[in-house]
Amino acid sequence: MTVVVDDPLIARMSIRRALPLHESSRRLRELYPECPRVYGVAVMGDLSRRRWWPLAEVLTTDRLQHMFDAAVAETDSRAAVAQQLAATLAHVVVGRVVPLIVLEGRAWDTGLENLWVHVDSEGAIDWVGVVDPTLRALPDDPHLATRSSVGAVRTTRDGIVMLPSEGALTTWVAHRSHRALSPLFAKLVEVTEGAMPVAAMWNVVGTAVVSAATQVPLLAGSSELTSMRRSQAILDALVGFGLPVRGTSRMPMGKALQN
């Protein structure tokens, strides 16, 4: 039996105007109702900002240093903690958006300036929010299909903007994620004193993309082929930017995905 959790943060959201991102995030939360923060994001305008902070503050404050030091004190393995933090950053930036891309052909902006994170009482990141809720979507998106004028689908007024193709969508996400993760990983190398090389961090990104694309069809009963095609397109774009996101690990999903 599925247990629906009444999450206090979600329950306290004050949505003044329902946007496509609200609809998408609700559907994503329903993928795993026992832990509704696992999928989807919050819109910062709907929330109080207690325990929230801009992800960009990682670059200008000692937040990442504190997270690293606290984890090392518990595990005594700098390399393991570096890998854990790299996986957290990868999930925050790109791992969370992949389910929406593979399910609905939609994506929020994964740019560093658009992302906020929520932390629990121990300072660990447990949810993600966006400042700008505008989605990018494919031409056949149901919301866009209701718009009769070209101007309406090319503005942010309705919280959704049309991109011309699947390739344009996946390349845009890869580009924005690349620009966000590059400085974050550079900071992580500084904080951990090189406990994990940057190339290995990018391989973690590949794993995050593959993992998300593998799990979603199992949870949603959606197309494995679509999930594979779209996630691989993101990885292809990242490789095109010169990033080593493909490794030797394999995660079976009917037809295997590769990272």
What does the DSSP assignment read for 176-234?
HHHHHHHHHHHHHHHHHTSSS-HHHHHHHHHHHHHHHHHHHHHHH---HHHHHHHHHHH
Q: Is residue 193 part of a domain?
A: yes
CA distance 153 to 123: 40
Is residue 1 domain-resident?
no
Parent domain of 44 = 8-258
| pLDDT 10s digits, 56-81 | 999 999 999 999 999 999 988 999 99
**pTM here?**
0.90
In a domain? residue 17: yes
Residue 2 lies in a domain: no
Q: Is 143 part of a structural domain of the chain?
A: yes
Determine phi and psi for 25, rounding to 5 degrees.
Answer: -65, -35
Structural domain total, the chain: 1
Per-residue exposure over 226-237, b if at least 16 CB sit within 10 Å of its own CB, e if not:
bbbebbbbbbeb
Let me know if residue 122 belongs to a domain: yes
3 domain residue, yes or no? no
Interval 143-170: pLDDT, tens:
987 654 444 444 566 899 999 999 999 9
CATH number where 111 lies: 1.10.510.40
Q: Which helix (H) or strand (E) holds 251?
A: strand 250-251
Dist CA 151 CA 97 (whole Å): 26
